[in-house]
Chain A
Amino acid sequence: MLGPNGAGKTTTLRCIAGVLLPDEGSIRINGISILHDPVTAKKQLGYLPEFPQPMPYLTVWEHLELVARIHALPDNWRQRANELIQWLNLTEWRDSLGKSLPKGVREKTILACAMLPEPPLLLLDEPIVAIDPIGQQVVKGMLRDWRERGHGILISTHILAFAEELADRIIMLDRGRKIAEGTPADLREKVHASASAPLEQVFAKLLEQ
């Protein structure tokens, strides 16, 4: 999901995640309405907000335990949590309180929380902005793996290269409305750009239109 500042990307993600009620319309996740059955629908998703705020007095591990308890995950969640901690390079922060975590580690912690229950859909709002380059590679690798296992990911981002690298489909928003949708190739075709044209150019032309 791409769009200029104030396009409504974060609001859209918040509505899908069930933290904000939409004024109109309906949202279904795997066929379950988030408005009518929010608890079942929320079991189908993991959400990383734009400004992830861990609980100040919980350690990284306790965040994962809290999510496991809320989702009532089977006992093997600990093995999965340990894997996530290793993959995301959180081992040295495992027993640190949320209030003492640096920005990038906060983001990775909440990302781990979102991924722990292995939901069919991940909602990520600017997921790699605060993470260091090596961490970005790790996260990208995990997201690719996630996609290959058949899970859905909806990402809101300003980093066009990131979108082009990972996205099967791109939705463009402007002032609260969808202005284009399709594969990167579809969007290029729509603005009559060459196959090698950078996405920035396509983005600018779509906005002009």
Chain B
Amino acid sequence: MTALIWAQGRQLMRLLQQWQTLLLFVSFAFIGLAAAIWVWISENVFLKPLPIRQVFWLVLAFFASLPLFIVPQTFVSSFLFSPGLPEWKLAQPIHARTITVFLWASGIADMLCLSLLITLPAIISASIVLKGTVNVAAIVMLVIVTVLNACLGAALGSLRMTGWRTKLALTGRLWWTWMWVLFIGAIAPYLLFSILSYAGIRVGWEFVRWVETPVGMAILLPLMPAYHAIKVAFDGVNVASVLLTFFLAGFTAIMVWQGLEVAVPFCEATFLWSERQQRLTKMGAWDALPAKPMKSEIGFGSGATSLLWLYWLNWKRNSLWVGELTVLFIIPFSAFGFEKGLPFPSLAIVLPLLFYRVFFPNPPEWLKSQPISAGKAVLILALPSALRASVWGLAILFTLALLSPKGISIANFFAFSLAMTALGFGIDFVVQALRASWWTKFQDFPWLAFVIAIVLGNLMSLTLTDYWLLGFLLSWAACAVLYLWAKERWLKEP
């Protein structure tokens, strides 16, 4: 066990020396910092009414309960491309329970960083602004609840991966399903609130007081320990927060015990991650399921354009069409932000575009050896991103045209929609180029400057009425540089 910890520690130290890891941590801290800055800027005006504070606490409680949504054991592997449990490690003469604890510990540490980096800055700054009772006791309570949530997440993840096969696993399953229902249920009020706000209907927040009634607490029980731990930073320790923390500790202990009961199949499931979906059936069953045969489709395109068919099949079969629903969030959110004077539209679109592109597999060597010119391949693979950005850009423009009393000039309208196309292309070129080098070269960092240039160009084309041409040209110039870079990478990297 100590040897494993030593090896993991050595790996961790080397990971921390890489700029990608640092960037990841900085980005988490930035989310928390952004919330903190927002709280400072809004002073106590926005958060002063109790119902709004309650919404704020609820949102933060979701963040503090993140380990319950994401399986902690796979968090590192999904973000940093390192395998959770290689086969050779599993073959070492170490007890399965020890390996399980070790895997949990690494996962919990990561999830804890994520939760705390996002929630702590916002909570502390909000508490100071509102002259709350933030002190050591409050911070300790928040950390304890976050740690317990991370432990519970690890145990529930193990039980889920092994098919909820223990006697008490049913309770864990209920808890996990409950959390997901709450999470999905939170989307509906958000959409409703957005629609009503745009329609000019003022919505009062008084109904949120219901959260702290006995019925509300019972319905939102899985969120309540985190909610009350956050509330302690504002209102001080109360009986409810202590009782809920004890309840969470007891429940976590039972689930951890249950999780250790299935240590052996959990270790197996962890290293068989790719085949897990096929192997896991109903509770207790561990038989291999035959892969579901597909219906081969008739393709389209010829030469380089047939890559579009490849993209289409990946989009359809990888269920990426579900992600298009992000538009429902991004467009109202960014347009609303822009109306309030915040430069959101282009920035809000960068992240979903990045996620979309990352889900498309990197062209393998055999595909690169096909007779397609590098320039055409890079361009055609980026077309869907450009199209997506254009459509989103147009939707933002129409939303703004409806919302803004001043309206948008024709020149700004065209400049922004074309600059959004450049943004789509540019982000795609960045991902193509960086994936070819596996995000390892620090000297590639200038890409960030060009992305910033595109985003600035977008903003200029929308906000500076007289400089729309400059904004448009800036976006496309930066996009051209990124294209040349992606093409060079296609040629130079296998």
Task: Please tell me which one of the listed residues B274, B299, B369 contacts residue A66 in the complex, with CB atoms under 8 A apart.
Answer: B299
Q: Distance (Å) between the CB of B58 and the closest chain A CB? A: 38
Chain B residues lying within 8 Å of A19, measured Cβ to Cβ, are 365, 368-369, 494
Interface residue B328 (Cβ < 8 Å from any Cβ of A): no
Chain A nearest CB, measured from B333 CB (Å): 30
Query: Measured between C-beta atoms, what is the minimum distance from A79 to chain B in Å?
Result: 16
Distance of A46 Cα from B33 Cα, bound (Å): 53
Q: Does A108 contact B (CB under 8 A)?
A: no
In whole angstroms, what is the CA distance A56 to B315 when docked? 11
Tell me the minimal C-beta distance from B368 to chain A in angstroms: 4
Confirm or deny: B324 has a beta carbon within 8 angstroms of a beta carbon on chain A: no
- A207 vs B367: C-alpha distance when bound (angstroms): 35
Report the minimal beta-carbon distance from A146 to chain B, rounded to whole angstroms. 17
Q: Among residues 93 to 140 in chain A, which have CB atoms less than 8 Å away from a CB atom of chain B?
A: 94-97, 99-100, 110, 113-114, 123
A174 interface contact, C-beta 8 A? no
Among the listed B309, B366, B373, which residue makes an inter-chain contact with A52, where contact means beta carbons less than 8 Å apart?
B366
Collect the chain B residues with CB atoms within 8 Å of residue A59's CB. Answer: 294, 296
Determine how close the nearest CB of chain A comes to the CB of B173; give it in whole angstroms.
28
Query: Is A52 a contact partner of B294 (Cβ separation < 8 A)?
Result: no
Q: Does A201 contact B (CB under 8 A)?
A: no
Inter-chain CA distance A170–B361, complex, in Å, is 36
Contact of A39 among B293, B302, B371 (CB under 8 A): B371
Central interface residue in A54, A70, A95, A114, by most chain B CB within 10 Å: A70
Which residues, 233 to 282 on B, are CB-close (under 8 Å) to A? 274, 278
Which residues of A lie under 8 Å from residue B484 when comparing CB positions?
A: none
Whether B314 pairs with A55 at a CB distance below 8 angstroms is: yes
A-facing mask of B307-338, CB < 8 A → 1, else 0? 00110011011100000000000000000000
**A97 contacts B369, C-beta separation under 8 Å:** no
Interface size class for chain B? Answer: 35 or more
Cβ contact of B293, chosen from A67, A69, A96, cutoff 8 A: A96
Is residue B130 within 8 Å, beta carbon to beta carbon, of the partner chain? Answer: no
Taking a contact as CB atoms under 8 Å apart, the answer to whether B296 and A69 are in contact is no
| A42 x B371 contact (CB < 8 A) | yes
CA distance A60 to B39 in the complex (A): 54
- Whether A91 is near chain B, meaning CB under 8 Å from some CB there, is no
A72 touches B310 (CB 8 A): no
Cα distance, A70 to B363, chains bound together (Å): 14
CB–CB B372/A62 < 8 A? no
Interchain CA distance A94-B274 in the complex, whole Å: 21
State whether the Cβ of A181 lies closer than 8 Å to any Cβ in chain B: no
Residues in A with CB closer than 8 Å to B494 are 14, 19-20
Q: Is the CB of B303 within 8 A of A72?
A: yes
* Residues from chain B with Cβ under 8 Å of A53 in the complex: 361, 364-366
A156 to B361, CA, bound (A): 26
Contact among B293, B299, B367 with A65 in the assembled complex (CB-CB below 8 Å): B299
Which residue of B is nearest A56, CB measured? B361
Give min CB distance, B185 to chain A, whole Å: 31
CB closest residue in chain A, given B320: A57
Q: How far is the CA of A94 from the CA of B298 in the complex (A)?
A: 14
Knowing A17-B365, A57-B314, A57-B318 are in contact, say whether A94-B296 is a contact too (CB < 8 A).
yes
Known: A19-B368, A62-B313, A72-B303. A39 touches B295 (CB 8 A): no
CB distance from B459 to the nearest CB of A (A): 36
| B493 at the binding interface (Cβ < 8 Å) | yes
Closest A residue to B306 by CB, please name it. Answer: A69
A184 lies within 8 A of chain B by Cβ: no
- B residues in contact with A20, CB < 8 Å: 492-494
- Given known contacts A19-B369, A49-B364, is B302 in contact with A72 (CB within 8 Å)? yes
Closest Cβ–Cβ distance, residue A104 to chain B (whole Å): 15
User: Which residues of A are found within 8 Å of B293, using beta-carbon distances?
Assistant: 95-96
Interface residues of B in 425-479 (CB under 8 A from A): none
Q: Which of B278, B294, B316, B370 contacts A67 (CB 8 A)?
A: B370
Residues of A within 8 A of B369 (CB): 17-19, 42, 45-47, 49, 123
Q: Does chain A have a CB within 8 A of B394? A: no
Q: Which of B377-391 contact A (CB under 8 A)?
A: none
Taking the complex as formed, is A80 at the interface, i.e. its CB lies under 8 A from any CB of chain B?
A: no
A17 to B364: give the CA distance in the assembly, Å. 13
Kindly list chain B residues whose C-beta atoms are within 8 Å of the C-beta of A52: 364, 366
The answer to whether A70 and B372 touch across the interface, beta carbons within 8 angstroms, is yes
- Restricting to A1-46, which residues have a CB under 8 Å from any CB of B? 14, 17-21, 38-40, 42-43, 45-46
> Given the complex of chains A and B, what is the CA–CA distance between A67 and B372 in angstroms?
11
Chain B hits for A54, CB < 8 A = 364
Tell me if A70 and B317 are in contact (CB < 8 A): no
Contact partner of A97 (CB less than 8 A), chosen from B294, B301, B302, B306, is B294
Instruction: State in angstroms the CA–CA spacing of A66 and B305 once bound together.
Output: 10
Is A88 interfacial (CB-CB < 8 Å)? Answer: no
- Beta-carbon nearest neighbor of B374 in chain A: A38
Interface residues of A (CB under 8 A from B): 14, 17-21, 38-40, 42-43, 45-49, 52-59, 61-62, 65-67, 69-72, 94-97, 99-100, 110, 113-114, 123
Beyond A21-B492, A71-B370, 4 additional contacts (C-beta under 8 Å) are A38-B371, A55-B310, A55-B361, A56-B361
29 A-B pairs with CB atoms under 8 Å apart are A14-B494, A17-B368, A39-B371, A42-B372, A43-B371, A45-B369, A47-B369, A48-B366, A49-B365, A49-B369, A52-B364, A53-B364, A53-B366, A55-B314, A55-B361, A58-B313, A59-B296, A65-B299, A66-B310, A67-B370, A69-B299, A69-B306, A70-B303, A70-B304, A70-B372, A94-B296, A95-B296, A97-B291, A113-B366
